[in-house]
Amino acid sequence: MSTTTNRHAVASRARHDQLPDAAGGAPRRPAAPEPRVSGGRQDGAMGIEADRHEPVRADRASRARCSLGDPLFAERYRAIDARDTRFDGQFFTAVSSTGIYCRPSCPARTPKPENVTFYLTSAAAHEGGYRACKRCLPEATPGTPEWDLRRDVAGRAMRLIGDGVVDRDGIHGLAAGLGYTPRHVHRMLVAELGAGPLALARARRAQAARALLVSSDLPLSQVAFAAGFGSIRQFNETIQQVFAATPGELRARGRRGSHHDGAEPGIRGLAPGAATSGLAAGAPGADAPVRLGVDLPVRQPFDAPGVFAFLAARAVDRVEVADVSRGDRLRYARTLSLPHGPGAVDVVATAGPRGEWQVRAQLELVSLGDVAPAVARVRRMLDLDADPVAVDGALGADPVLAPLVARTPGIRVPGAVDPHELVVRALVGQQISVAAARTHLSRLAAHAGSTYSSTLPGLDRLFPTPDQILRTVPEPAPDEALDAARPLRLPGRAVRTVLATCRALADGGLAVHVGVEPEVLRAQLVARPGIGPWTAAYVAMRVLGDPDTWLTGDVAVLAGARSAGAITGDQPSAAAHRVLTERAAAWAPWRSYATMHLWQAATRQTTVR
C-alpha cells in the first residue's frame, strides 16, 4: 500500500467510538488476553500451521492488535470517547477487566487505558479470548472500508472471505484465488489481521448466525447451515465461545428486544411456511424459494439517490427494475446468480426525518446457504461499507470539489453483484452511450439469459453467463455482412472482443473476482485485443470496489470537470484530459469517488441545458 493510502486509511480508522467496562453481563475474563498468533498453532481441521520463525513487523502488529504504548493507541483511545456510529466495524475494542469486546459506539463508560486492546477484526478479538458485548452487539455493524482501500493480500483475502469462498472452497480455494500457498496466506493474515483465514471465516459465520437467531423463526439446525457452518456441533461451539450463550439463549435474549439503536442487521419477515419447509443449505431443488427481509446497516451520510439513479439508468430489462420517482423512497430489484442457484433481491431505501437513509433488502433464494453471499454482494453493489467521513473530508478540501461534496455528501461508487456480468456490460458499453448499452444488453439478456420465475414483478430473466453467450451469439467473420436481427447488434470487432473475453472467463484464462489485484486485473484486460485502459479501469472500479481508480479519457468526467471549474480555457480534449489527470493526482486515494462527483456534475449540466 502506498504511503498516501496508508495515511488516509489510518485517518479513516482514527475517528472511532467507545467500549464498555461493564457491558453485557457477568464477565468471563481471559487468563491471558493475548492473540494466539504464536508459532506452531494449528488453525482448525485444515492443520495450517503458523510459522514460528516468521517475523511480524511492528507496524503490522500495531495495526492488527494495538495496546497501550503502541503508536496508534492514543488516537484510537481518544476516538472511542466520540461514540460515533459511523465508525462501527472499523475496529473493535477489547477490555481485559471484563473479557468483552465492543463496537466503537458502545454506550458504556470508557475503560481505563491499561485495560484496553484495539483489534482490527472481531476474529482477532475471538482469538484473544474475548466474547462479544451483549449491550452494543459488535457483530451487528457495517463492514470496514479498509478491505477495499487496501490492495494487499489481507484486503483481497477479506473480500473473498466476505463472499463466502472459505465456506465453499476451503483455505485452498482462498489461496488459489489469491495466488499463494495456503500456508503463506495463513501466515500473512495472522501477521496483518491477528487471525488466520479459518478464524476470519468463523467470525463471519458467527455474525450471520446471530442475526438469523435473533430475527427469524428458522429452526436452529437450519440457522447453522444457512450461516455457513459445516456441522451443528461447530455451530454450537462457536456461538458459545463468541457470545457466551447457547444458540437458544441467544435467540431468547434477542426476542426480549436486545438491540442497539435499531442498527441490528436482522433477518426478518420469513415467508410463511419457509421456516418449516425442510429447506436446508445447499438444497437447490426445493419446491418454494426462501424469502427473507434483511436490514442493511449503512454509514451516514449515504447518497442513496445517486446510487439508485446510477443503477436505474443502467437497468437491463427483465433482469433489473428500478423506481426512483419518489424522493423519499427508492427501489431497485434484480435477479442474482448465487453459489447454490438463482435468486433475486428487492432493495428499498427510505429517507428518515433527519435526512438519514435506511436500507432494507428482500431476498428470494433457492437455498439458505446463499443468505451470506447475497447480503455481501448487495452491500458491495451499494458500497455500504464506505467511509463517507474520510472521503468527504479529503475531497472537500479541494476548492473545486468542495461545492460538489457539499451538494452530495456521502457519495458512493456502485459495485457489482457478478464480476463476469460487469465485464460483459463494460465491453458492450465501450464507445456508446449508457442508454444504447442498456438497449444492447437487454436484447442480449432476452436472447441468451436463463428464465427465472420470481415473485418480484418485472423480473423473469438471469443475466447470461459467459458460457451462455458463447453458445448463443455467433462469431462474425471479418468480412461478414452483419445480420440486423443478430442477438448482439454491435460492430463485428466489438462482438469478437466480447466473445473472446467470455471464452477466457469461461475457461479460467482470465480471472475476474473480488480477490484480484487491481493492477494485475487492469494489465490482463488491457493486454486483450479490443479492450482499452478506460474499460479496464472501469471494471476494476466496480468489481473490486477500488476507491482510487481514474478513468483516463472519460468524456463525461471531462464535462463534469469543466462544469465544476477544474478545467478552464479552450484547450483541446487531449490536453484537457492530461491537465485533469494531473489535477486528479491530488485526490488520491479517493479518485473513484471524485469520478462519481464529476459524473453527477456532468449529468446536472446536461439536465439544465
Number of helical H runs and strand E runs in the chain: 25, 13
**Residue 296 φ/ψ, nearest 5 degrees:** -110, 105
Exposure string (b/e) for 144-155, b if CB count within 10 Å is 16 or more?
bbbbbbbbebbb
DSSP letter, residue 142: P
**In sequence order, which residues have a C-beta less than 8 Å from that of residue 50 and are 6 or more positions away?**
37, 38, 39, 40, 41, 43, 186, 187, 190, 196
As given in the structure block, the three cell numbers for residue 11 are: 485517518
Query: Is 136 tagged catalytic?
Result: no
Residue type present at position 97: S
Q: Which of 43, 66, 102, 546 is catalytic?
A: 102
Query: Is 554 tagged catalytic?
Result: yes
- Residue by residue, DSSP assigns 158-212 as HHHHHTTHHHHHHHHHHHHHHTS-HHHHHHHHHHHHSS-HHHHHHHHHHHHHHHH
Cα–Cα distance for residue pair 157/165, rounded to 1 Å: 9
Residue type present at position 261: D
Cα–Cα distance for residue pair 417/487, rounded to 1 Å: 24
**In sequence order, which residues have a C-beta less than 8 Å from that of residue 6 and are 6 or more positions away?**
none
Cα–Cα distance for residue pair 578/552, rounded to 1 Å: 8
Residue tagged 484464462 (cell numbers): 509
Exposure string (b/e) for 196-206, b if CB count within 10 Å is 16 or more?
bbbbbbbbbbb
Q: Which of 303, 385, 418, 554 is catalytic?
A: 554
- Residue by residue, DSSP assigns 395-458 as HTTSTTTHHHHHHSTT------S-HHHHHHHHHHTTTS-HHHHHHHHHHHHHHHSPB---SSTT
Residues noted as catalytic: 102, 554
